[in-house]
Amino acid sequence: MGIKPTDLKPTTKFWLFLIGIVVLVFTVILGSFEASWLALNQEEHELILKIAPKLIPFPMLGALILVLIIGSLVSLLFHFYITPLLQLAEKTRLISSVNPDYRVEAKGAKEVVYLTNMINESAEVTQALRTEVEEQIRQARADVDAERTRLAALMSELPHGVLVCNTDGQLLLYNQQAQKMLNQKNGDAQAGKLIGLGRSIFSLIDREPIIHALEFLQHAVSKGQVTPVSTFMITLHGHRCLRVKMAPVSQQTEESRSIFGFVLTLTDMTTQIEQEAMRDSWIQDLSDNLESSLGEIRDAISTILNTPDLPAPMLQENRLKIDSASQLIAERLRQSREEYARLFHSTDSREHVSARDLLEVVGKQLKEKQRIHVETEAAEDLWVNLDSHALAIGIMQLVGAHQSERPLNDLTLKLVPTDGDFASLTLSAYNPPLLEHVVRLWSTAPMYSDDRNQPIDLQELLARWGGSLSLKEVEGKGQLELRIPAQFGKGHLDIEQTLEHRPVYYDFGLFNQAEWGELSHQPLRKLTFVVFDTETTGLQPSQGDEIIQIGGIRIVNNRMLHDETFDQLVDPKRHVPSESVAIHGITPDMVRGQPTIDQVLPNFHHFAEGSILVAHNAAFDMKFLRMKEELCGVHFDHPVIDTLLLSSLVHPNQESHNLEEIADRLNVTIVGRHTALGDAIVTAEVLIKLIPLLESQGIVTLEEAVNASAWSPYAKLKF
């Protein structure tokens, strides 16, 4: 790409123009002398040569004075007209493109000032119209935002991890549950940031099972199956086992139906598999012990049956063997039942329920369905941890059984905390009191079947929760007490808290993401960027200065992802000068004991995987990174673009291109200046504002931006 005249700065244009005028003036004078010389004869030539020392200086002096006068006029022309007009054009583009609130300072000749005032007045009118249109658009988007909020709410409440990918494996959507499952990698401090929009799923999950499942789905879709699903198991990070269900995202064309993405549903099976292994182990132990005990019983019985005249001492000995073995069997069965309940403890459908809400619901059902008077009392701020539906069914069955034998007139439900993590739920009836045999039959009667189709009674259900039940008489009232798990004043602790919005992250524009091989030809607004910044001990990496902080943020499809950031202090293992501390505020105490660069840089390299690196004055930051590549075992071969160079391309006539000046021109608020992450966020916002300005100058793709940046005068900076 060559340099166009419009790419030159005003001072360069001025000197080129002035040099051209000087050359022109002297060319005309010399041409005139040459023409006059040719018109003279020999005698006249001799005469001219004699008087030339007196004749030539005055015309030459006059020419020089003329050049100075013309130069002064040209300088005034540039100062009052050309330069102000060029700056006016750039700032007018700011108003129309990225900063509608920006107003141009009126300076230059009277005519230029008049034009500036007209542009500012037009900007005011345009801003009023823009505000009106934006308000209408905002109202039109209200329904879309409501739908998005409902989607986010649904995704956040799902108990499973959900991922949506395109056929290249790039993440288009993920929820918080998926982030928790996939981001636990070897205790890495930055593991929580490894999952992200636009990243490859293959960096998180082994490639082979996904490719195999995708081939199966493509075959099924090509055969006309509407909703094929593939299920497989994976082991994550060597210790977590996930069950993955994979379903296609397909589209129907006139010719065929094809897959352009897929949905993964993740279920953590680690606990269940461990429990099943433990269950199999104690079942095997139980079988072995029962077989041994039953063998002893069979031997003793065979001895008694086969020896009718067995002496009394031997008969007693065999009877004791039978008794001892049967007691051992009973004890083993009791232990097995308790173990089974314990293993099932974490897989039941328990939930945290307010004690007050639970009793209100149960009391309302009893009043409506059993037609009895119910009073409820619950401790304030008490939460119970159980299957509220199962408990409500149990209480309804008890009252129903009692009504068929002896109708109850009133019932009192009271739920209060007791010892440790348990609460006492008491059911009290008076006139008539609760009947003991009805309670006994009810507590052992099956209520429903569990997910293994095994019948469950209330006693077993309470045992699974670690509780119990008992019946006693208090002041003439039959009182049934259920001991159930609870949390007093802690119910809110298990509720996930989110800061700004629900933790669902998606960008379906990535469905159309091109191959990485075509990266250079892709529009800037369609690329994935990692905008980063470093804070250092000084400005001379070649003389031993070190990185003490790295911050970065990702941009996907021209959208900044505030939930996908990198922010890490680095122990430089050297002194941090006070001059540097005065700039970035990072003291030696803050970095002492932090990870060293050989630990941090590989994490940042992984964070930036598959992205374009962006920095302001990128040559400085890249010099620090590349000097540590060999030490850290990484290589930063990413394409790099510089917002300093891009700013000089869109505003070549502005005097300054430091980050503060650019942010002010583009209406970007600066927060956290001279912190790595703060500067990275500001630079990211600047990049997003620069992209439409670049597009207006015909710089659309990554290749065009890189080539154009090479012609910036700031591209010569080296570190």
DSSP codes, 440-457:
HHHHHS--EE-TTS-EE-
pLDDT at 315: 83
Nearest to 597 by CA among 556, 559, 569, 623: 569
Picking from 78-87, 239-248, 554-563, which range would have the lowest pLDDT averaged per residue?
78-87
Give the start-to-end residue ranges of the domains of the chain. Answer: 5-100, 147-268, 273-346, 350-494, 515-716
The answer to whether 684 and 553 are in contact (CB under 8 A) is yes
Comparison of pLDDT for 684 and 91, the residue scoring more? 684
Whole-angstrom distance, CA of residue 63 vs CA of residue 23: 11
In this predicted structure, what is the pLDDT of residue 289? Answer: 79
Q: Residue 44: count other Cβ atoms within 10 Å of its Cβ.
A: 12
Positive or negative: CA dihedral 431, 437, 438, 443: positive
7: Cβ contacts below 8 Å, ≥ 6 apart: 652, 711
Task: Please state, in angstroms and rounded to a whole number, the distance separating the CA atoms of residues 52 and 71.
Answer: 28
Distant-in-sequence, close-in-space partners of 86: CB < 8 Å, separation ≥ 6? 10, 653
Q: Which of 79, 160, 352, 674 is catalytic?
A: 674
Banded model confidence at residue 270, pLDDT cuts 50, 70, 90? confident
- Please say if the pLDDT value at position 185 is more than 70: no
Q: The domain at 273-346 falls in which architecture?
A: Orthogonal Bundle (1.10)
Residue 520 has pLDDT above 60, yes or no: yes
Q: What pLDDT does residue 717 have?
A: 55
Alpha carbon distance 330, 323 (integer Å)? 10
Report the chain's mean pLDDT, rounded to a whole number. 78
Non-local (6+) Cβ contacts of 288 within 8 A are none
Q: What is the 3-state secondary structure (H, E, C) of 106-138?
A: CCCCHHHHHHHHHHHHHHHHHHHHHHHHHHHHH
Q: What's the CA gap between 661 and 646, in Å, rounded?
A: 14
| CA proximity to 475, closest of 430, 526, 442 | 430
How far is it, in rounded angstroms, from Cα 154 to Cα 147?
A: 10
Confidence of residue 509 (pLDDT cuts 50, 70, 90): low
Outline where DSSP puts E strands in 346-464.
351-354, 373-378, 382-386, 410-417, 422-429, 448-449, 455-456
pLDDT of residue 547: 94
User: How far is the C-alpha of 276 from the C-alpha of 583, rounded, in Å?
Assistant: 59
| Mean pLDDT confidence for 580-588 | 88
Q: Which of 473, 482, 489, 392 shows the shortest CA–CA distance to 434?
A: 473
Q: pLDDT band at 33, cuts 50/70/90?
A: confident
What CATH number was assigned to the domain covering residues 147-268?
Answer: 3.30.450.20
CA distance 520 to 608: 17
Residue 483 three-state SS: strand
Q: 165: part of which helix (H) or strand (E)? A: strand 161-166
- pLDDT-based confidence at 484, cuts 50/70/90? confident
Instruction: Note the pLDDT of residue 374.
Output: 87
CA diameter of the chain: 173
The DSSP letter of residue 500 is: S
- Give the pLDDT confidence of 386-415 residue by residue, as tens digits: 777 778 878 888 888 877 778 888 888 888
Q: 10 Å Cβ neighbour count for 329?
A: 18
What's residue 189's pLDDT?
A: 39
Q: How far apart are CA 279 and CA 235, in angstroms?
A: 21
What H or E segment, with its residue span, contains residue 260? Answer: strand 257-268
- pLDDT for res 319: 85
Answer whether residue 79 shows pLDDT above 50: yes
**Taking residues 141-163, what's their average pLDDT?**
74
CA distance 705 to 524: 8
Q: Residue 281: which pLDDT band, with cuts at 50, 70 and 90?
A: confident
Q: What is the pLDDT of residue 350?
A: 66
> 674 catalytic, yes or no?
yes
Q: Is the pLDDT of residue 497 over 70?
A: no
* Nearby residues of 473 by Cβ (< 8 Å), 6 or more positions away: 433, 479
Q: Mean pLDDT over residues 26-41, rounded?
A: 76
pLDDT confidence of 123, banded at 50, 70, 90? Answer: confident
The residues, any chain, with a CB within 8 Å of residue 131's CB and separated by 6 or more, are none
Determine the topology of domain 350-494 in CATH.
Heat Shock Protein 90 (3.30.565)
What is the band of 501 on the pLDDT scale with cuts at 50, 70, 90? very low
In this structure, are strands 230-236 and 559-569 parallel, antiparallel, or unpaired?
unpaired
Is the sign of the CA dihedral 556, 559, 563, 564 positive or negative? positive
Secondary structure of residue 603 in the 3-state scheme: helix
CATH topology of domain 515-716: Nucleotidyltransferase; domain 5 (3.30.420)
pTM: 0.54
The answer to whether 551 and 533 are in contact (CB under 8 A) is: yes
Question: Which pair of structure tokens corresponds to residue 643?
Answer: 């917002």
More confident residue, 702 or 444: 702
Lowest-confidence segment of 309-323, 329-343, 526-540, 565-579 by average pLDDT:
329-343
Give dist(CA 655, CA 652) in Å, integer: 8
Return the structure tokens found at 287: 């079988």
Residues in the chain: 719
